[in-house]
Amino acid sequence: MKSVQIGVIGTGSISASHLNAYKSNENAVIYAVCDLNEERAKTVAEKYGAEKVYTDYKELLADPAIDAVSICTWNNTHAEISIAAVQAGKHVLVEKPLCRTVEEALEVQKAVEASGKILQVGFVRRYDPNAQWFRTLIADGELGDIYYAKATTIRRLGNPGGWFSDIERSGGGPLIDIGVHVIDLCWYMMGRPKPVSVSANTYRKLGNRSNIENLTFYRAADYDASKNTVEDMANAMIRFENGASLLVDVSFTLHAKKEENFVRLYGEKGGLEIDPEAVLVTEKNNTIVNSFPQTNHAGFDFVSAFQNEIDHFVANVQNGTKPLSPVEDGLEIMKMLCGIYESAASGKEVLL
């Protein structure tokens, strides 16, 4: 079977996960990279053996040798580049979030459907081995109907600054950057029920806290301590058509004792925890039993999940099969994210 010729657009930090996974896939060839920073693009191309280097994504998309692209750029360019890519006849893996607004998401979906090309959204948490195993249990009815999920991703000091804290480029703060991961994971595990309403709050109280000393944190390449236009934290209750609900809170910065990450789902016959450690909670002979699956990683394994995601994308391109995280799911997640921001701004529940 013919190898898939890959172009990677954007060579920031997340692109390394794409590039490393493509390099480990025997059916993919890293053919081209593109970045506005030509020097950085050349460095990445040399490291991964890419034949071509571009500074304009339109020129990359015009290259007939390229079969598919990974889009690893600022959020405000996701929709524009995704639409241009499928119209140029390329298959697309676009980093989360799909875009910044529901309107953009609808335009992307329209373009994908008209093109007949594949667009896979980078919801990497779906591809984690533990999540996939739990999903098979849920599909088999082991937990019964999942009616409640709860997720927390709290950073006490973790505003990356740079484009992450610029709402024009990012579309938002921790909600759209890291909250999207756990919202999507819960929604996927719950069977993707139709969201019907959102009640939410966002807060801008602490800024980027660049004054903090003696504790290091990740900073974007374009970090600027003077600029921050996104929320510090967000919390939300999402209701679904089947009566299920999801409670989520997420922060870039908070006066919290420590970082906190957990994902929990509750069903009629049992429950589960995915983060920070995989646990299955059931009843056996009138006794509550906590079962710990024996897997390579007790919690989320970023490297394995990314490799699975990239392998899935390459296989979809070769076989013409539909992604596990298609454009339609990207649209539904954007409805939830934008609903949260709208509810927070209005101080009212929002119907989706």
Q: Which of 210, 178, 260 is nearest to 14 (CA)?
A: 178
What pLDDT was estimated at residue 27?
98
Query: Mind giving me the DSSP string for 188-225?
Result: HHTT-PPEEEEEEEEE-SSTT-TT--S------TT--T
Say yes or no: domain 126-301+333-351 is CATH 3.50.7.10.
no
Residues of the chain with pLDDT under 70: none
Mean pLDDT of the chain: 97
105-138 pLDDT, tens digit each = 999 999 999 999 999 999 999 999 999 999 999 9
CB 72 within 8 A of CB 8: yes
The token pair at 207 is: 């800024």
Domain spanning 4-124+306-325: which CATH class is it, in words? alpha beta
Q: Which of 112, 120, 127, 115 is nearest to 92 (CA)?
A: 120
271-321 pLDDT, tens digit each = 999 999 999 999 999 999 999 999 999 999 999 999 999 999 999 999 999
Class of residue 301 by CB neighbours under 10 A (exposed 0-12, middle 13-18, buried 19+):
middle
Amino acid present at 230 = V
CB 185 within 8 A of CB 263: yes
What pLDDT was estimated at residue 225?
81
DSSP β-ladder status, 91-95 and 68-71? parallel
Query: Mind giving me the DSSP string for 48-108?
Result: HT-SEEES-HHHHHT-TT--EEEE-S-GGGHHHHHHHHHHTT-EEEEESSS-SSHHHHHHH
Map out the domains of the chain as residue ranges.
Answer: 4-124+306-325, 126-301+333-351
What pLDDT was estimated at residue 274?
97
* Residue where the block lists tokens 């927070």: 344
- Global pTM reads 0.97
What pLDDT was estimated at residue 329?
98
The token pair at 251 is: 């922060």
Length reported for the chain: 352
What pLDDT was estimated at residue 227?
87
